[in-house]
Amino acid sequence: MTPALADRPQSQGQWLALVLLLASAALLLTGLVVGSKGLDSLNALAGDPQAWLIIREIRLPRSVGAWLAGALLGLAGAVAQGLFRNPLADPYLLGSASGASLGVAVAMALGGLSPLGAHWLARLGLTGAAFAGAVLAVLLTLLLAQGAQNTLRLLLAGVVVGVVLGALTSLAMVLSPGLLQAMQSFMFGSTGFIDAGACALMAAVFVLSLLAAWAMSPLLDGLALGEATAQSLGLPLPALRAGLVGVLALATGTAVAQTGLIAFVGLAAPHLVRSRVSTTQGRLIGLSSLAGGVLLLAADLLARAALAPRELPVGMLTAVLGGVYLLWLMRRQGAGSRSQGQAS
């Protein structure tokens, strides 16, 4: 391979990163002028101190938070797909989403049943309850899988934990009928409650998770070539697997705790990157983070403006758009396989 051909994937990755960064900046600026009534005029905002207060206190944190949550999900999706060697793996495979839902349901139920529960809920908050539930679900998955050494056992344990905790959440809502309406914003996903503190927390977790995943990405490169190849490279597989599971749990739990259940962003972002460039797992994780931020922020802006002054649940919107995208991708790949078979 000539040096020019060898450098082409790296050049394509740099161009994609630049495009995603420019798209992120454009969407963030757009988020400042999209409100409950749709797209506001800059001239109308210029002389209105109250409008600038709304931009600074509500729209800016919401837009930045939506990007950060999407970046965390994109990062977690790339790690999950590389760790499980499955392009259909998503960040919720370890049961974190079901655990977060159960944590919120239990917190709401206890808060309405007793003064002690209300005091505990006031101290922990729904965000803390969601994060605690996500972490406990991942720990339960690791316990059932007897560690992170066997990815297939870990995957199966995550599916079982997700189903069981999801059933417990449904049971809690059946026993407390008023709980269903209270949990709608969490179940459907929303960025409307993100503030500056949540943005700071997600930014810190994103930087930490990105650095850790980048440092451990050689394991994902080795696993892409097979388990035997990864072992022959002398990589400490158990320790790196455990570290990647920790990154996956931390990134997913933080995003879910702040925005609720956002579907398909963590699954679609790595697919979009791989459809454009062929690169190493380390660069894939970074590009998937940028793609995830762009996807969720764009979906959030569409959710705000599509039916203004009403607002669509962003998680429902990403589920619909993500499902359509994956169906189109499957159809495209199927057509490509048939054409290759006819040519051969």
**Is there a domain that residue 71 lies in?**
yes
- 333 lies in some domain: yes
Give the C-alpha separation, 211 to 217, whole Å.
Answer: 10
pLDDT score for 283: 92
Conformational region of residue 125, where left means phi above 0, alpha means psi within -120 to 50, and beta covers everything else: left
Task: State residue 116's pLDDT score.
Answer: 47
Report the pLDDT value the prediction gives residue 5, as an integer from 0 to 100.
42
H-run or E-run covering 38: strand 38-39
96 within 8 A of 138, measured Cβ to Cβ: yes
pLDDT averages per 10-residue partition of the chain, 344 residues: 51 88 94 71 60 83 95 94 85 89 83 50 68 89 83 86 91 80 81 90 94 89 74 75 88 90 90 87 93 94 83 87 78 63 58
Query: What distance in Å separates the CA atoms of residue 289 and residue 207, rounded to the nearest whole number?
Result: 11
Give the pLDDT of residue 333. Answer: 66
pLDDT of residue 117: 47
CA 101/CA 260 separation, integer angstroms? 8
Helices (H) and strands (E) in the chain, counts: 15, 2
Tell me which residue of 13, 56, 312 sits closest to 184, measured CA to CA: 312
pLDDT of the residue at 279: 84
Cα distance between residue 91 and residue 77, in whole Å: 5
Q: How many domains does the chain have?
A: 1
Q: Which domain range does residue 27 map to?
A: 9-338
The answer to whether residue 2 sits within a structural domain is no
pLDDT digits (tens, 9 = 90+) for 76-107: 999 999 888 888 888 898 888 899 888 888 88
Q: What is the CATH number of the domain that holds 86?
A: 1.10.3470.10
Strands 38-39 and 34-35 come out as antiparallel
pLDDT at site 293: 95
As a whole number of angstroms, the distance between CA 100 and CA 234 comes to 36
Tokens of 207: 């930087």
pLDDT number for residue 338 = 60
Residue 1 in domain:
no
Residue 344 included in any domain? no
pLDDT score at 6: 44
The rounded distance, in Å, linking the Cα atoms of 305 and 98 is 30
